């Protein structure tokens, strides 16, 4: 049975937490509608002291379980949800992703599909920049993957290492795509 973890971070405002929770629950309903998929909702650990949260009027703590980085290894894919802070993911979620470095180093998250959802305080509150800045976290985890080279003055050719990375990307991507063939 496939397993997909949906992560919900501890949020620092009542509005964002409520909106993010509603999105996560609706995403879970959609995922649950696919036969053979097991969905789990999680939240990342809070990083702010209770005193600060109280002064901010933060939302009450959700009863959704707190995730540990090692829990990610059990999932076949992820949808990460977070509130936007100054055009990027909230620090709580960034701290959680930073703690997955060991998993990244051993490629335990590589090839697992990942996506994001987010909540902002206003329509122009940074949704597009939040998505853009979150992509680096997914790439470093090995979910989306891309080879690269640079042209320089136009006379430079790709190195053997760059070509090997391109070959790896083609082979790796095709292997993952083949797993998804006819599964939807």
pTM: 0.75
SS3 (DSSP) at 88: strand
What is the architecture of the domain spanning 2-145? Answer: 3-Layer(aba) Sandwich (3.40)
From first to last of its 184 residues, what are the pLDDT tens digits of the chain? 444 544 444 333 344 566 777 788 888 888 888 777 788 888 888 888 888 878 877 777 778 888 999 999 888 888 888 888 888 888 888 899 999 989 988 989 887 888 888 877 777 788 888 888 888 877 766 666 567 777 777 788 888 998 888 788 777 777 776 777 666 5
Round to whole Å and give the CA distance between 72 and 163: 31
Residues with Cβ < 8 Å from 56, sequence gap 6 or more? Answer: 12, 13, 48
């Amino acid at each position: 049975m496939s397993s997909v973890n949906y992560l919900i971070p501890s949020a620092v405002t009542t509005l964002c937490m409520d909106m993010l929770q509603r999105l996560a629950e609706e995403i879970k309903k959609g995922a649950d509608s696919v036969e053979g998929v097991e969905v789990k909702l999680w939240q990342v650990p809070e990083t702010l002291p209770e005193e600060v949260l109280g002064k901010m009027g933060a939302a009450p703590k959700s009863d959704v379980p707190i995730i540990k980085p090692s829990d990610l290894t059990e999932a076949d894919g992820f949808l990460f949800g977070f509130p936007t802070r100054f055009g990027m993911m909230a620090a709580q979620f960034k701290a959680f992703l930073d703690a997955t470095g060991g998993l990244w180093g051993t490629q335990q998250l590589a090839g697992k599909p990942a996506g994001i959802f987010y909540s902002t305080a206003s329509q122009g509150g940074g949704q597009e920049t939040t998505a853009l800045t979150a992509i680096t976290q997914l790439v470093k985890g090995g979910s989306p993957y891309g080879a690269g080279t640079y042209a320089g003055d136009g006379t430079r050719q790709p190195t053997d290492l760059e070509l090997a990375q391109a070959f790896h990307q083609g082979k790796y991507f095709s292997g993952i795509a083949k797993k998804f063939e006819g599964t939807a």
